[in-house]
Amino acid sequence: MVAEDDEKQAELVRRYLEREDHTVTVVRDGRAAIESVRHRAPDLLVLDVMMPRADGLDVLRVLRAEARELPVLMLTARSTEDDLLLGLDLGADDYMTKPYSPRELMARVRTLLRRPRLAAVGDAAAPSALSVGTLVVDPDRHEVSVDGTLVDCTPGEFRILLAMATEPDRVFTRQRLLAQLHGFDRYISLRTVDMHIMNLRKKIEAAPHRPARLLTVFGVGYKLTDPSASRVPS
C-alpha cells in the first residue's frame, strides 16, 4: 500500500512496485490509509509524512496502537534528527528523505519484505524470557521491562534488545544489529541503528546521556550489560 497525496509521486512509486509484480493500492490521505490497512491488511506500507486529514505520524501512531506489525517505510521531506527519531520511535521500520531514488526505494522495499515477521524472531529452544540485570526481554509476550515496569518498544527496538539480550556483554557491530532489523542490505543506513539505540536509551536508562545498560564500545559498536555486575560490593 502507498499512502501519498502527491499524485505524481504516488504514480511513480506505483509503477515501480508493479514492475516488480507487487499488487498496489494507493490512498491519498491519512484517514484513508488507516481504514485501508484495517480492511486490506497489506504486506507493507509506504507512508508519506505530509498528508491531509491525518499526517503519516498520526497514521503510524494509530496502527502501532492497534498492534499492527506490518513493515512501514516512511517518506519525508523532513531531514532533521528529531523528526527521524520521532518516526522510528513511533514504529517506522525505515525512512527515506525526499528527493529519493526510486531504485533505492525499491531496494528498501525488497529488504523489508524479506524480513521475517516479529513473531518469528528468536529460537524456539531459547528461554521464554531473557534477563540482563533488571532488564527483561520476553520474546513470547513481546514485552520488555526494566525494574518490573513495562517499557513500550517499537518492533525495531524489540529486535535489537532481543538479539543483545541473548548474548549479554557481547559487542554487537552496527552491521550486525542492522541485520537484526532488515537482513544484510547495503541500501539501509547504519544511522538507523544509532537512532534506535538513542531511543532505547531514553526508555531503559535512568540517565540516557550517561548509559549504564546499553553501552557504546567506541570504534566497534554496542553492548548490553548488567550495571549491577560492575559495582564493587561495599
Residues 43-85 pLDDT 10s: 999 999 999 999 999 999 899 888 777 889 988 876 666 667 7
The pLDDT tens digits of the residues spanning 121-135 come to 444 444 578 999 999
Contacts of residue 11, defined as CB under 8 A and 6 or more positions apart, other chains included, come to 26
Give the residue among 89, 13, 3, 74 at the shortest CA–CA distance from 42: 3
pTM over 0.85: no
How far is 213 from 142, CA to CA, in rounded Å? 20
For domain 2-114, the CATH superfamily is Response regulator (3.40.50.2300)
Q: Are 181 and 188 in contact (CB under 8 A)?
A: yes
- Regarding the domain delimited by 119-230, which CATH topology (the fold level of the hierarchy) does it fall under? Arc Repressor Mutant, subunit A (1.10.10)
In the chain, domain spans: 2-114, 119-230
Amino acid sitting at position 169: D
| DSSP code of residue 166 | T
Residues contacting residue 97 through CB under 8 Å, at least 6 positions apart: 76, 77, 78, 79
